[in-house]
Chains A and B, each alone.
Chain A
Amino acid sequence: MIALTHMVISATGVSLFLQTADYRILAVASAASLFPDIDTSKSITGKLVPFASRWFERRFPHRSCTHSLVASFVLAAITYPIAIAGYLPLDITHAINLGYFFGYFGDAFTANGCEMFWPSRVRAVWPGNRNFRLKTGSQIEYLVLAILFVNLLFIGNVNANGGMITQFNKLIGSSVGVEQLYKQQGATHLIIAHISGVMSDDNANVNEDYLIIKVQNKNFIVQSKQGEIYKASTTDPNAQILITRIAADVGQIATTRIEKFKLEDVDLGKTLSSYDKPKMMVYVSGNLKVDDSDNLNLPQFKNEFAYIHATGANVILEYAPLKNVISQIGDRFATGYLEIKIINNV
């Protein structure tokens, strides 16, 4: 098997196993895939370390001990302690070991296979009929190489877009998948939901992208591109959007943090305006007692999520956009508790 085929097999395998499209990791895996061929002086690695390759080829058949699980075990026994000691990144260590494994595993497709179970001398092959196995440098090998390369591009693309599970979640449009993605990536990235469904009040069709602000069981608090807040759900009849299909993508990098504090008759607008900064999406939740509650003029929500409502002097906020809170009750003094969710879109 030619070196390029080894490299592509390893890069594909490592991309699949580690769910990564990081070119550095794939490059390390590709390089590691060439090391089993240290047992022949005509290989790239054999030429790099001629003393080692000559030692091997004087004693062993090609594709024997260096193409075995024993060699993998030895490599792991060397590299993982170094990684644990902090001298080698763990993902690079995985790439070295998996890359090495795929390097000789690919040789099982060749006419003579490899001694994968060395010191046993049986040669692992696949498939059993040699007529269907690859001949080194043949046209079939180049065809296989081309197919593998397309696979590598496809898998790399899938991994660059959140990984295999994310893509499957998108495919099946399940709310559980979106919930999982939000838990995994929501703290570091914007999560954009593609929601198909209907508006609960007028059965108007919905097929848009929304920013997920919060996930509560199978309910999602989302914001449209126009800034409107909705509750979307597959089961809750009080939600504004009834979901028939939901998928999600990992968006731009964005850090999320939550701040909680207590207010004691303070100027609400002055307090909240310190959070009003560019590239920051701020959502306010809490329960406040405001002065001059008789003159409160809160918006009436018909088709939107009621992120703010009042009961007497008590104002209840639930993921209310900061600008709306400042414009609607910012001119008052308030007492109570607030929780502010800040999504810093860097």
Chain B
Amino acid sequence: MFLIVVILVSSNYSVVIDTIQHWKEDRQQPVEVPEEQSIPVIQNTAETQSGTSPQPDTRKRYRKNEFNRIVASLQAEASILVVGDIGSGKTLLATDVTKALQDEGFQVVLIEPKTHKQLLLDITSQLGIESTDVNGKGLSLKDLETAIAFYLQNNIAFLIVDDAQRCDVRFRTWLKNISRKTPMLLLATSPPKTDVFINLARLELRPLPEYAIREIMEQASLARGSNLSANDLARLQERVGGNPMLAERAVDEEYIGVDIEAGDHKQYFDLTPIILLVGVAFTIVRFIALGSNNPALYMLAGSSGALFMGVSYALRSLPRESRRF
């Protein structure tokens, strides 16, 4: 018997806390308690990274709220989908969550995209399920699916799938089928609004705050011995857009002397629609000039309106930026 304090993530992110007495056997109704009590305390200290990397994790964790929310959701048997750009820190979050749950004694399966069968074999391997029959012959896909589902129905284990958008549709459909009874964490970049992705509560990873990005860049700079000045970092930070991976990459690019000015983040806003609005404003002025019998203003506003609309159209007609390097 043990007590677990959890957060249930609702659509508007309100927090509900469940008090559960040995929730493997006897799940009780949630009881609301203040939020402060619900958040597991996560220190900003160096932590040992779990998963495949044997290196100790000296990173400072900047996504504490997301981490706490995910852990609490999974402990409350609520599956969750984490959506974020490439490099936004999903994999790090996945390994942190895995470690936190393992430290609490839970069985956790952390998988990355492979073929459907490889994924199922990976899961059986991590859960310790036999993947062969009594004759030593490998189980079929259907049998593997059934065996895993049966195991998960009778045991508590968390399923964490990184880059879930790259898993094939059949695997995602199977995930959808077991998602009601198996708490899972899917992490994806721009997932389609279908199958398992539309079924799960969604948590979006926002860009990291500027101070966090600056700290990451300073650490990266120190690690490479480049000791960039505040001026250099401010200039490089322009092309980072709150993305920790891009922050490190910008420092790397500066370190090796690559002359790059534009960033690869998605925090750009094209002003072209505003130019169209200016054209519309001039068109309105043209009608005012017509009403007030002011031919010069009519002509000026009309020609300016046409100019701005034309420029707007021309800009929209420009070739789109390639998504490939």
Within 8 A of B (CB), among A10-50: 39-42
**A108 is an interface residue with CB less than 8 A from chain B:** yes
A to B CB contacts below 8 Å, 18 in the list:
A58-B234, A61-B238, A121-B210, A121-B241, A121-B242, A121-B267, A122-B267, A124-B269, A125-B269, A126-B272, A126-B315, A129-B320, A130-B321, A133-B262, A165-B300, A168-B296, A168-B297, A171-B299
Is B210 a contact of A62 with CB atoms below 8 Å? no
**Residues A40 and B231 in contact in the complex (CB < 8 Å), given A121-B207, A126-B315, A168-B296:** yes
For residue B239, CB closer than 8 A to chain A, the reply is yes
Partner of A168, one of B207, B239, B300: B300
Decide if B29 is an interface residue (CB 8 Å cutoff): no
**Which residue among B207, B234, B241 has the maximum number of chain A CB atoms within 10 Å of its CB?**
B234
Are B321 and A131 touching (Cβ within 8 A)? Answer: yes
Whether the pair A57, B268 counts as a contact (CB closer than 8 A) is no
B270 within 8 Å of A by Cβ? yes
> Closest CB-CB distance, B298 to chain A, in whole Å?
9
A132 touches B318 (CB 8 A): yes
The one of B240, B270, B272 in contact with A61, judged by C-beta atoms closer than 8 angstroms, is B240
Q: How far is the CA of A285 from the CA of B243 in the complex (A)?
A: 80
Q: How far is the CA of A59 from the CA of B210 in the complex (A)?
A: 8
Contact A129 B300, beta carbon cutoff 8 Å: no
**A128 and B272 contacting across the interface, CB-CB below 8 Å:** yes
How far, in Å, is A139 (CB) from chain B's closest CB? 15
Known A-B contacts A122-B269, A168-B300, A174-B295; the reply to A57 vs B321 at CB < 8 A is no
Check A58 against B230 for contact (C-beta < 8 Å). Answer: yes
Taking CB atoms and an 8 Å cut-off, the chain A residues in 139-196 that contact chain B are 164-166, 168-169, 171-172, 174, 176-177, 180
Stretch at the interface among A110-118, A270-278, A306-314, A322-330: A110-118
| A293-B241 Cα distance, complex, nearest whole Å | 92
Contact A112 B300 (CB under 8 A): no
B211 contact set on A, CB distance < 8 A: 59
Whether a CB of chain B sits under 8 angstroms from the CB of A89 is no
* Main DSSP-derived SS at the B contact region: mixed
Using known A-B contacts A61-B237, A133-B262, determine if residue A165 contacts B297 with beta carbons closer than 8 Å. yes
Residues of A within 8 A of B240 (CB): 61
Residues of A within 8 A of B271 (CB): 108, 124-126
Please name all residues of chain B whose beta carbon is closer than 8 Å to the beta carbon of A169 when the two chains form the complex: 295-296
Residues in B whose Cβ lies below 8 Å from that of A112: 238-239, 261-263
A136 within 8 A of B: yes
Q: Is A54 an interface residue (CB 8 A)?
A: yes
Indicate whether A214 reaches chain B with its CB closer than 8 angstroms: no
A63 interface hit (Cβ, 8 Å):
yes
Cα A168 to Cα B242 in complex, Å, equals: 49
Give the complex CA separation of A111 and B321 in angstroms.
Answer: 13
Q: Complex: how many Å from CA A136 to CA B319?
A: 22
B234:A60 contact, CB within 8 angstroms? yes
Q: Which residues of B contact A174 (CB under 8 A)?
A: 295-296
Question: Would you list which residues of chain B between 297 and 325 have a CB under 8 Å from chain A?
Answer: 297, 299-300, 315, 318-321
Contact with A along B179-211 (1 / 0, CB 8 A): 000000000000000000000000000010011
A245 at interface by CB-CB < 8 Å = no
Residues of A within 8 A of B268 (CB): 113, 122-123, 125, 128
Give Cα distance in the complex from A37 to B241, angstroms.
Answer: 19
